[in-house]
Amino acid sequence: MFDYIKGLLTAKNFPYCTVETNGIGHLLLVNYRTIQALPEINSEVKIYTKLIHKEDSMTLCGFYNKQDRIIFDILTSVSGIGTKVAFSLLDEFETNELINAVIEEDYKSISRTKGIGAKMAQKIVLEIKDKLTKMDITTEIITSKKPDNNISNETITQAITVLQSLGYDKNEYQSALETALSALKKDDAQELIKEALKILSIF
């Protein structure tokens, strides 16, 4: 229903913030990481949104960036994972860290999240790993332009998988990955993803 709301931040009292647009204050349910990222009161903000519609309630959730909203949608597709637990996971991990934990089947790290036990951590990996890895991966353009810094094609492939799972197409992530590769000092997929997301968030 709403993609994002852009307006004046008038309140931020965890777990809610209020953004005013055209005289209307939109109350948004947010996680702690989003609250921490928000600017001072009376600053202009852009919050990505997700409307949760239940039989007895409607809740507008807010996300500081589009990547968190996409991961939230994927997480809440797992039976037993609701808004509260999904937000807890987004507080415990940065987006790229959570994706890597799932891809690497790191149940132990995921189970450290409040409300997530060992069985639920395994269920999360089982149900969403394929959604993050079964993508049409095309590395030939990126790898043909990568600098001579010993970054493996496997690392680049994993980064492309993650960026595709977050909704970016090749036209968007290609330039960001090329720039991130030139700055990367070691063969580390997580660092490559992190740097690419930083560049993409600027635009």
Token pair for residue 91? 């507080």
Q: Within a domain: residue 24? A: yes
Give tens-digit pLDDT for 41-84: 999 999 999 999 888 889 999 999 888 898 899 999 999 999 99
SS3 content of the chain, % helix, strand, coil (to 5): 50, 20, 30
Q: Say how many C-beta atoms besides its own lie within 10 A of residue 114's C-beta.
A: 10
Q: At residue 141, does pLDDT exceed 80? A: no
**Domain encompassing residue 10:** 4-63
Question: Are 191 and 149 within one domain?
Answer: yes
> Domain with 34 in it: what CATH number?
2.40.50.140
pTM for the complete prediction? 0.71
Boundary (domain end) residue, out of 108, 129, 150: 129
> Mapping DSSP to helix (H, G, I), strand (E, B) and coil, where does residue 110 land?
helix
Question: Are 150 and 110 within one domain?
Answer: no
Question: Are 8 and 57 within one domain?
Answer: yes
Q: Within a domain: residue 28? A: yes
Which is it for the CA torsion 114, 119, 120, 123, positive or negative? positive
pLDDT of res. 173: 85
Give tens-digit pLDDT for 82-131: 999 999 999 999 887 888 888 889 999 999 998 899 999 999 999 998 77
> Domain with 101 in it: what CATH number?
1.10.150.20
> Mapping DSSP to helix (H, G, I), strand (E, B) and coil, where does residue 46 land?
strand
Which is it for the CA torsion 178, 184, 186, 188, positive or negative? negative
- Which H or E run contains 13? strand 4-13
53-70 residues labelled b (16+ CB within 10 A) or e (exposed): eeeeeeebbbbbbbbbbb
Q: Within a domain: residue 201? A: no
